[in-house]
Every structure is written in structure tokens, then in C-alpha cells.
Structure 1
């Protein structure tokens, strides 16, 4: 396998020409072909509805605009829900608000399912579509989790952060597997993204009609005398499938060999067990920092601003996931330096600021932890938006397309440097 040339810059920084991505990355992305995983029975059942829904879109509407409308609706609905319950406990989320989020999630699911159909319908398919689509999926996952925690009154405990890390880890591991095997497995043929989204919609609808207290009602676990809340039972029920999915990701990567990928798909990728482990360190660090910010000296701020801390960690994990997707599409080497990002360092700084007195360095934190959280969240979001907007801009320039407009009848052309 050939080696990449050292660029002398951190991946995610602009080069001397103002580009976020290299010429080699852009050439590889231009030649990228998407390989989806298995569809579920429900996907096949809903396909006729999606085929009908896409006919309602005007032919001038760009596929990425379709996805973005769904993302914007979900973002507004999530902010509305969390505005009623910033601590994710103790405040009542109105029933109409829960219904609105269920509707927003259904809208996103539908638009996310038909954006590719719109691309084929308008002959505007391009590699940018996958990056934009999966990047939006990563963001919606965070928005939905925070809104659901507020609606179900999960509460500001370290457990909610651990649960959040499990959800983020499952999504990231799927992208990690795709980098190594070339195929994104989003389902096992029976349970996948569509099913999980419909379950989430159902939970919001139940909260709207029966109230949030239903989740604190006690139930007896089958075959035992143990009584737990409905919410606890649901959380425990999530763990086995999450472990199974991650185990499957690891098993398939472990069994794969570099020579299993065709040379045109392998490119300059660093694949295999050892590099694969290194590629997981940054996400593992983000999760560890997130958990640290939910306990010990950080607990008072976490209790007060649970939603904001989840949004901050979600920004970091979405940044890391987006970088993984770009590296897969560019078929580029993925070292430990490449999978790290500035927003992760910001998260580390916010965490260190809280724990310095505990480590015996100073009597108080250098910056008020609450102010540090607000500042860190803003910087992390700015870092992520800078990366993703730069990558999108570079790809659009290289392919001679526009992100939210259909410029040509085909999006496969590219500019030459």
C-alpha cells in the first residue's frame, strides 16, 4: 500500500490554498460509490409511501435542501422541548410539545428517506449527498436524545451521560466499520434506523397523551420480584441490542483483511485491527470526558445545565463522526492525529478546568465552570461548523455543484486545479 505525503498540518485545518480537504481527498471523493447495508421489512413496507412522497417535491429542490429542512425542523423542536426542561427533570413538557417533536422526527425520517430518491429523480446525485445525509443523521441523533430525556424526565445523573455515550458509540462504530469494510450496516434485517425512530416517535406520543408520570410508574420485571420504573426497564432493554450491534461491528472488522477491499475502494486507508483500535481512542476519550463532566466536582453544573452539556458532547462526537465519514469517502489514511479534532480539545479543557482543584492545582477553577461550559460549547460548535462547512465548500467547488441548488443536470463533473 502506498503512503500518503505528510502535509505538515492537522487534518481539519485549512491548507495554504484555503482548502479543508486536499486535492487527493477530493479526487477520491469524486469517485466514491455508496454501498448500503441490508434493508429491514419495515423499510420495504414504507418504500411505496416514500416513492409517493418524493413526487410532492418540486423538481428544482436540491436533495441536500430536502435533508436540511428536516434537520432544521428537528433542531427547532428539540430546542423547544429542552427550553421547558433544561435539567431534563422536574419540569413538565407540554403534551403539544411532545407531539410536535414526534411530528418533526417523522418529517425528518421521511425527508431523509426521499432525499436520495429526489437526487435520482432530478439527476443530481453526487458524493456530497452521503456526507450531508449522514452528517445530518449524526446531528439529529443528538437532538432527539436530548429531547427524549426531557420528555421522559430521565434526570441529571451520570447514568444519562453513560446512556448518551452508548447511543453515540453505536452510531460511531457503524461508521468505523464502514471505513474498514466499505459497507455501512445500519440494521440486521429486522431492526434498524427506521424502527428505532418509530419507537422514539411512539414514546413522544405516549408522553403527550398519558403524561410524563407514566415513565416513573413501577413495573415488575418478568420472572423476578424486582420492581423498577418503566423508564429503568426501557434503559436496561437498550443495553443488550447495543452490545450486540457493537460486537457485530468489531467482529466484522476483526475478520476483514485489507486485501478483501478492492484496490479502488481501499485507496490509502489504514485498516486492520491495530490501526482500528487507535481510531477508537478519540471517541473513547470524548466519552470519558463527558462522563467526568457529569460527576464529582462537575456535578452541580451538570445538574443545572444537563441539556447544554449533552449538546456540547454531542457536538464533539458529531465532529468526530463527520471526520470518519470524510476519511472513508476520501479513502485516506486515518491516524490518531486525524481522528482527533479541535472540539475534543475544548471538551478536555472544560473538564480540566473543573478538576484542577481536585488534582491539587489551585484552590478554585481558573474559570467559573458554568461560564467555561457556555464558552466551550460555543467554541466546539464553531469548530464543528467550520470543519463541515469547509469540507462541503471544497467538495462543491471540486464537483462544480452547489449544496442547496441544482446547478447542472448531473453532479458528477469536477473542476481541475
Structure 2
């Protein structure tokens, strides 16, 4: 009998159960260690900020041109999402797909200078569409599962700030705009700027205001560009009849003009005064001061690009703009936290270390090779961005007693499924 029991214990099904159990134990241990490591990081949010974040209510104004039509699709799509799936998990999966396809396109086009395989353009278009769709249904999923919280809005806007960087650079790669590095520079930098201005205006007025042509329309424009590249990768190097202007230059000019116009509208709204006392911001602070971080970033980016003796912008266009894009995402996320917690902004942020280091290195005649320094810049900026975002999410989750990527069962469908 003892022998038969030993043989039973060594059966394939028993071994499989044993291995699965061990894997679960190791996973839980890793999760616990990771959470403890994050909790030991320096505190980011004050007690007052956490209380105000808990009290925050989402407020928006305006409808874009395509949103009423897309709402029909998004309401249909969210019904296929299981009720046990957390809304933030929906968003981050879409972001991961979008980043993955965009990075693949950057690599294959050699910094936006060459054509690549058609299927890569198609994958990038698909990745952006998936992100757009999942990003649009996360709020609906939160209402279906009764798990709406300020963390959801914060997480959603934070992912959008990261996506803005990769989507813009990927679009430039699709039209091979890297052959005109300064056109690509201003197309990307002004795209970062217009996104920042939208949240600057929100920080001042307390409401996120959408124009008739906004993020949904911009995303569909980028998807269209990728699909044209899928059909004819060399299309963008052709010239417009009679005008003798390449189509890729036209794309850059349209991008620049639309971002300048949208930025002007947001700054005009800022100039009208805020919702705080004496027309101040939501935090009761200056309505002009939020322009300092983005202004400093653009200034340092222009200086580093213009005075580089190794032509870093021309030689490593996508990498160069990605570095500054990570800094943009960090200062934008700080602005979003400032708006939602109605707290003042700091004049200095650790994300500025990268841009300042590049300028200092140029001043001392390139003590470090600029290409090598760019990679250190990117790694540090990614670390700084992730450290800040992860710590903010952890502190808010602990304060609200919720999980970022998990919801507490059981959940029931909400009767309200409107956007």
C-alpha cells in the first residue's frame, strides 16, 4: 500500500499540481518583495494631497467631431470585457501594445530615415487602434465593475502622456521624416507641448476642455498615415504636383500648424484666468508658472540639438527625441497630479538632470560621447518616470485601500454605461 501511494504521488498530474503550487508561491513572494521595495522608496505625495486626490471629481467640457460616432463602437466593445478585468489593466495592456509596435517601427526605419516592411506599418496602425479602443473603454469598464476611483483618471492621463511620445515619433518614422531632422524635431516637440498645454489649462480652469478636433481625430490621422505607408512605403518621398513639396514635408507642416493652433487656444483660455481665488489656478497659485517646466525643457532641447558638434539630432533623431519625450511625460504627470490634488508645482524636478547633463557635456567639449550619453539619458529618464508613477500609484492605492490592477470580487454590472 505504501508503494502504491508513493507511485500515486509521482504521477504526472500530482507533479503538475505541485509545480503549479510552487510557481504560485514564488510569484506571491516576488509580489510581496516588490511591494515592500516600492513602499521603502521616498514618499512622493503628502497627506493633504492624498486627501484631495480622494475628493477629486472628473470634470470635462466639449465633444470632439468623431467621439459621438466612436461611442457606439466603444459601448459595444466594452461588453466583451470580462467583469473580473480591472480598468487600469485594460489601459496598460493597450499602452504596452502601442509602445511595442512603435519601438519596432523606430528600429526598423533606422531613426525615421528609411523605409521598412509593410507589415510593420500595419502592426503600428493596429497597435495604435487597439490602444485607442482600450483607452476609451477603461472608464466604462470601471462603471460596469463599480470600481471607479481617482486612480483611474490619474492612470489614464499618465498613460496618455507616454503614448503621446511614442505615437508622434512613430508617425514621423512612417513618413521617413528623419531625413529632415529639424522638421521632425519641431513636429514632436510641439506635439508634446500641445498635450502639456491641455493639462496646463485644466490645472488653471479645473476642467479638461476638448476641441472639435482633438485626440481622437489626431489618432485616426496617424492611423491613416500608417495605412498609407502599408500600401505604398515610398509614397511620402513623392512631391505634390505643381508645388514640388514632398508629402512628408506636408505632413510635418500640418502637424506643426495644428499643434500651434491648439496650443494657442489653450494658452488663450489660461490667460482668461483660473477658477481659484483672484483668478488663480485650482491650487490658488500663479496661472503662468506651469509654463516654466515645459519652457525649460524645450529651451534645453533646442540648445542641445543646435550646438551639438557630433550632430546628435541628425544622426540619432528618434533616440534624441525619445529622451526628451520621457522628461516631458514626467513633468506632465506632475502637472496632472497637481491638478487633481489642487497642489502647487515645484520649480525643480529630477527629470531635468538628463537635459542639463547633455548641455554641460557639450560645454566641456564632449567629455562623454553624445551617443553613449543619450542612452544613459534615456535609461535614467525611464527610471525616473517609472519610479515616480509607481510610487504615486502605490501611495494612492494604500490610501484608498484598492488595487491598481485587480478589483475585489464579486462585481455586478452597473446600469449606467454612458461615457
TM-score, normalised by the number of residues in structure 1: 0.84
What are the ranges of 5 or more consecutive residues in structure 1 without an aligned counterpart? 1-13, 358-364, 411-417
121 and 15 in structure 1: CA distance in 2 versus 1, 3 angstrom threshold: closer
Q: Is the 8 A contact 2:111 2:317 kept in 1?
A: yes
> In the alignment, which residue of structure 2 is the partner of 1:269?
284
1:298 Cα deviation (Å)? 4.6
1:52 Cα deviation (Å)? 0.8
Q: Is the 8 A contact 2:62 2:209 kept in 1?
A: yes
1:380 Cα deviation (Å)? 1.2
1:82 Cα deviation (Å)? 1.1
> In the alignment, which residue of structure 1 is the partner of 2:149?
126
1:75-86 to structure 2, matched below 5 A, reads 75-86=99-110
Q: Is the 8 A contact 1:60 1:406 kept in 2?
A: yes
| Alignment partner of 1:400 is 2:401 | yes
| Alignment partner of 1:242 is 2:265 | no
1:185-219 deviation digits (Å, cap 9, x = unpaired) = 23x23x111111111101000001112x2112111
302 and 60 in structure 1: CA distance in 2 versus 1, 3 angstrom threshold: same
1:157-208 deviation digits (Å, cap 9, x = unpaired) = 222112211101100000000000011123x23x111111111101000001
409 and 299 in structure 1: CA distance in 2 versus 1, 3 angstrom threshold: farther
In 1, the alpha carbon distance for the partners of 2:41 and 2:191 equals 38
| Alignment partner of 1:214 is 2:235 | yes
> In the alignment, which residue of structure 2 is the partner of 1:371?
372
Q: Is the 8 A contact 1:54 1:118 kept in 2?
A: yes
How many equivalent residue pairs? 373
> In the alignment, which residue of structure 2 is the partner of 1:29?
53
199 and 261 in structure 1: CA distance in 2 versus 1, 3 angstrom threshold: farther
Per mean C-alpha deviation after superposition, the further-off stretch among 138-147 and 103-112 is 138-147
Q: Secondary structure at the match of 1:319?
A: helix
In 2, the alpha carbon distance for the partners of 1:262 and 1:287 equals 27
Q: Is the 8 A contact 2:119 2:230 kept in 1?
A: yes
CA RMSD across the alignment: 2.3
1:349-381 deviation digits (Å, cap 9, x = unpaired) = 122212333xxxxxxx22222221111111111
In 2, the alpha carbon distance for the partners of 1:250 and 1:330 equals 22
> In the alignment, which residue of structure 1 is the partner of 2:271?
254
1:74-128 deviation digits (Å, cap 9, x = unpaired) = 1110111111123210x22211000001001000010011000000000000000
TM-score, normalised by the number of residues in structure 2: 0.84
In 1, the alpha carbon distance for the partners of 2:299 and 2:382 equals 19
> In the alignment, which residue of structure 1 is the partner of 2:78?
54
What are the ranges of 5 or more consecutive residues in structure 2 without an aligned counterpart? 1-37, 412-419
Which of these residues, 242, 249, 262, is aligned with residue 232 of structure 1? Answer: 249
> In the alignment, which residue of structure 2 is the partner of 1:9?
none
Q: Is the 8 A contact 1:123 1:409 kept in 2?
A: no
Q: Secondary structure at the match of 1:276?
A: coil
| Alignment partner of 1:205 is 2:227 | yes
In 2, the alpha carbon distance for the partners of 1:92 and 1:136 equals 28
Higher helix share: 2
Q: Secondary structure at the match of 1:159?
A: helix
Q: Is the 8 A contact 2:87 2:139 kept in 1?
A: yes
> In the alignment, which residue of structure 2 is the partner of 1:384?
385
| Alignment partner of 1:41 is 2:65 | yes
> In the alignment, which residue of structure 1 is the partner of 2:336?
325
1:297-308 to structure 2, matched below 5 A, reads 297-308=308-319
